[in-house]
Structure 1
Amino acid sequence: MQATSSVRAQCLQAQSPCRPAAAAGGRARHGPMQPMRAAAAEGELVDDTGFKPASSMRRGVKKAAKETILTPRFYTTDFDEVDEMFSLERNPDLPMEELTAMLAEMRRDYNQKHFVRSEVFHEAAAAIQGSLRRTLVEFLERSCTAEFSGFLLYKELGRRLRGANPTLAELFSLVARDEARHAGFLNKALGDFGLALDLGFLTKHRSYTFFRPKFILYATCIAEKIGYRRFITMYRHLQRDPDHQLHPLFEFFENWCQDESRHGDFLAAVLKARPELLRGLEARLWSRFFCLSVYITMYLNDHQRPGLYQALGLDTTQFDRHVILETNAAAARILPEVPNVGAPGFWPAMDRLVQYNAKLLEIDGWEGPELLKKLRKAPYMERTVAECVRLFVGPAIRCGSLDIEGAGSYQY
């Protein structure tokens, strides 16, 4: 595990982990906020970052970002199958001890009064201009969409399980409560930039991706764990380096992370309640697949938008590697198998994916016939798929929860 140790050492330096050398000069100063201006084409309103409202009649309501394979998705599942899996009547021996203990924890609602805004939010938004303003708006939108997506899914799971498993139903409802609180807080932060998402419109008009219940559990468990690690890494870095405290939102990340950590532990407990999801070849393959899916999505997304991390005094690559290393170690405590992110070829493969994605984005921005665009993109799409397959069949680590009989012991 020499590669793992090397990267970990780079990202855990005493003063400021993941910090680029060029960031030492502190935060750039920004001018006053620019007003909304009218676009020349068709009278459509556009703010100073170039974002379009949902319609010219609804000033300040942002048009949702175009859906791509990397954008946060809205999920649905087979709720009848969920009922079958967790019904106490059909599964009288379902282990509920850990979930019952977590319910008492979640009911305390430690962050009920934490997310309280002040006038500094609007002042901070007014001070951020230029490309950084656009980058921060994109970050807020993506984060808000992801949290709201989680709220919708967890709320529906809580509603559907009410009769079959009241304890699990209430837990999902309480997780939905937290996600809704996060989404609302982020949307209000967007409002400081003169933009906001119409969450009701998103609920009705966003396309939904269907995943079977077990896939939902794998994906959301890893997503909550990586969300915790991202936010806590940012928070700790900014506590060491307050000159890069770009926006007051980041000061809320410590308590926010407590929610993310509890959510990850809850979903791990749900997985352990169905041991077949953590045992056997199929479980190992799906665990590896969803780990890689989450890691690759984050790595490509962040490298598309390095400006935010530079403004925070972070090096995007070192930050992402640190987050993936720590998330993989956390996932190894529950999942039966995780990718070996310390293998010699892992990070070079991830960096090649970044290069291919940059080429695809470049071609997307090219003004030419769609057919020619597709032909130009084909070789990069092929290389991207091939690289993902190589990562999937590459070295992996057998691990897993010691609570599950027959799982590989945790030796990450």
Structure 2
Amino acid sequence: MVNTLSQSAPKEPKQGIKAPSKETVLTPRFYTTDFEKAASLDLSAQDTELQAMLAEMRADYNRHHFVRDEAFAQSWEHIEAEARQSFIEYLERSCISEFSGFLLFKELSRKLKNRNPLLSEMFNLMARDEARHAGFLNKAMGDFKLSLDLADITKRRTYTFFPIEWVIYTVYLSEKIGYWRYIIIYRHLQKHPENQFYPIFRYFESWCQDENRHGDIFKALLRSQPQLWKTWKSRLWSRFFLLSVFATHTLTVHERAGFYHSLGLDAREFDRQVVCETNETAGRAFPVMLNTEHPKFFSRLHRCSDYNLKLVEIDRSSQPKFVKLIRKIPFVTAIVWNLLLLYLIKPIDTEALRGQVC
């Protein structure tokens, strides 16, 4: 069950403060969970792995990484028009996503402090990393004379309740897909430095290692709970969350194709590579992974992104809300239908291949 907690109405932003983009199905959300149930998780099956990861988090290999150097100290007015707008939207979305993780991890750490000290410290250290990422991204927005009032956003955003099991599935996937997004962009720009139009991309190699570590922690949490990977229900949920994350990624990337084009990347190929790599990685934790080689897999995902672009076009029109709603119905229906057909594609049983999936 998903519940949303309403926040107070937004107010007019101050000068230089960017009004957050309208919340949609595709925008990063803020989450809360069942803290009591999280505190009672039995982690004994993965205790050795979690202790090793805790030691790695304490070492804080990136503590000196997120420091702005002289490369930032210049004017960025030469980045103009669509390229400028698409990059600001990318920074905003990334900042909100990282800040969302910070809020959830910090609250988990606080609520678990007296019940589960190991998990509490782990979440506190992950919150540290997410705060660094969000702050670094917000400072980058400042180079474009804008920033986000994160304290105000904390009060104004809608919070969605997810059971702790759903949190484990989704955070694992969001961290791993984040890793692949960052590392693929980084490797591409290493080969094509002429497309590196802003210095933040130089930080992506170490940045993505934070994402990877966080994902490994959630993998250990998932594998410590047999109900999340040993049951028939867990197979259905795994398919659902894999498809949800991949569909969101595909729609978002195609909606912001201009940003990837400015990096010299083809949005469709970038999306395909990120989805395939994340799917393979998820096979190390989930009982199933999606069959991305199925001839209909990406064609149906791309069909959904085409329909989504139609929805965006309708939203931007000046028509009355009621007319917009009527016009959206066939496209929303088509997206849901294609996602259902994708869900019904037979997945790959990773438990049967456990010795082969590495």
Class of the TM-score when normalised by the shorter of the 2 chains: over 0.9
- 1:65 aligned residue: 21
The correspondence for 1:76, drawn from 26, 32, 37, is: 32
Instruction: Measure the CA separation in 2 of the matches of 1:368 and 1:309.
Output: 30
Residues 1:399 and 2:350 aligned together: yes
CA pair 410-365 structure 1, distance change in 2 beyond 3 A: farther
Instruction: Measure the CA separation in 2 of the matches of 1:55 and 1:61.
Output: 10
With normalisation by structure 1, the TM-score equals 0.82
Residues 1:150 and 2:106 aligned together: no
The alignment partner of 1:96 has SS state of helix
Residues 1:210 and 2:157 aligned together: no
Instruction: Measure the CA separation in 2 of the matches of 1:254 and 1:74.
Output: 26
Give yes or no for contact 1:75–1:149 (8 Å, CA) kept in 2: yes
Q: Name the aligned partner's letter for residue 29 of structure 2.
A: R
Equivalences, count: 348
Residues 1:384 and 2:335 aligned together: yes
- 1:254 aligned residue: 205
Alpha-carbon deviations, 1:234-278, whole Å to 9, x = none? 001100110001110000000001111101101101111212211
Q: CA deviation at 1:408?
A: 5.8
For structure 2, list consecutive stretches of 5 or more residues without a partner in the other structure: 1-9
Instruction: Measure the CA separation in 1 of the matches of 2:348 and 2:136.
Output: 38
Instruction: Measure the CA separation in 2 of the matches of 1:85 and 1:108.
Output: 25
Q: CA deviation at 1:359?
A: 1.1
Give yes or no for contact 2:46–2:221 (8 Å, CA) kept in 1: no
Residues 1:220 and 2:171 aligned together: yes
Give yes or no for contact 1:124–1:247 (8 Å, CA) kept in 2: no
- 1:23 aligned residue: none
Instruction: Measure the CA separation in 1 of the matches of 2:47 and 2:69.
Output: 41
The correspondence for 2:110, drawn from 131, 135, 159, is: 159
Q: Name the aligned partner's letter for residue 25 of structure 2.
A: I
Residues 1:197 and 2:129 aligned together: no
Instruction: Measure the CA separation in 2 of the matches of 1:315 and 1:95.
Output: 40
Q: Name the aligned partner's letter for residue 292 of structure 1.
A: L
Identity percentage of aligned residues:
49
- 1:39 aligned residue: none
Instruction: Measure the CA separation in 1 of the matches of 2:349 and 2:166.
Output: 19
- 1:232 aligned residue: 183
Q: CA deviation at 1:105?
A: 0.7
- 1:110-125 to structure 2, matched below 5 A, reads 110-123=61-74, 125=76
Give yes or no for contact 1:333–1:410 (8 Å, CA) kept in 2: no
The correspondence for 1:350, drawn from 298, 301, 324, is: 301
Segment drifting more, 230-239 vs 157-166: 157-166
Instruction: Measure the CA separation in 1 of the matches of 2:324 and 2:95.
Output: 32
Q: CA deviation at 1:74?
A: 0.5
The alignment partner of 1:196 has SS state of coil
- 2:3 aligned residue: none
Instruction: Measure the CA separation in 1 of the matches of 2:226 and 2:159.
Output: 28
Instruction: Measure the CA separation in 2 of the matches of 1:54 and 1:410.
Output: 55
Alpha-carbon deviations, 1:142-168, whole Å to 9, x = none? 000000000000111111111222111
Q: CA deviation at 1:55?
A: 3.3
The alignment partner of 1:343 has SS state of coil
Instruction: Measure the CA separation in 1 of the matches of 2:158 and 2:86.
Output: 24
4+ residue runs over 4 A deviation: none
- 1:37 aligned residue: none
Q: Name the aligned partner's letter for residue 114 of structure 2.
A: G
- 2:12 aligned residue: 55
Q: Name the aligned partner's letter for residue 85 of structure 1.
A: L
- 1:278 aligned residue: 229
Alpha-carbon deviations, 1:58-106, whole Å to 9, x = none? 21111111000000100111111112224xxxx8x55411111111111
Residues 1:176 and 2:127 aligned together: yes
Residues 1:409 and 2:354 aligned together: yes
The alignment partner of 1:75 has SS state of strand
The alignment partner of 1:372 has SS state of helix
- 1:318 aligned residue: 269
CA pair 315-220 structure 1, distance change in 2 beyond 3 A: same
Q: CA deviation at 1:126?
A: 2.7
Q: CA deviation at 1:118?
A: 2.5
For structure 1, list consecutive stretches of 5 or more residues without a partner in the other structure: 1-52, 401-406
CA pair 158-169 structure 1, distance change in 2 beyond 3 A: same
Residues 1:369 and 2:346 aligned together: no
Q: Which structure is higher in helix share? A: 2
The alignment partner of 2:31 has SS state of strand
Q: Name the aligned partner's letter for residue 385 of structure 1.
A: V
Q: Name the aligned partner's letter for residue 58 of structure 2.
A: R
Higher Cα Rg: structure 1 or 2? 1
Instruction: Measure the CA separation in 1 of the matches of 2:259 and 2:320.
Output: 33
Give yes or no for contact 2:46–2:220 (8 Å, CA) kept in 1: no
The correspondence for 1:98, drawn from 49, 56, 63, is: 49
Q: Name the aligned partner's letter for residue 16 of structure 2.
A: G
Q: CA deviation at 1:307?
A: 1.0
* Root-mean-square deviation (Å): 1.6
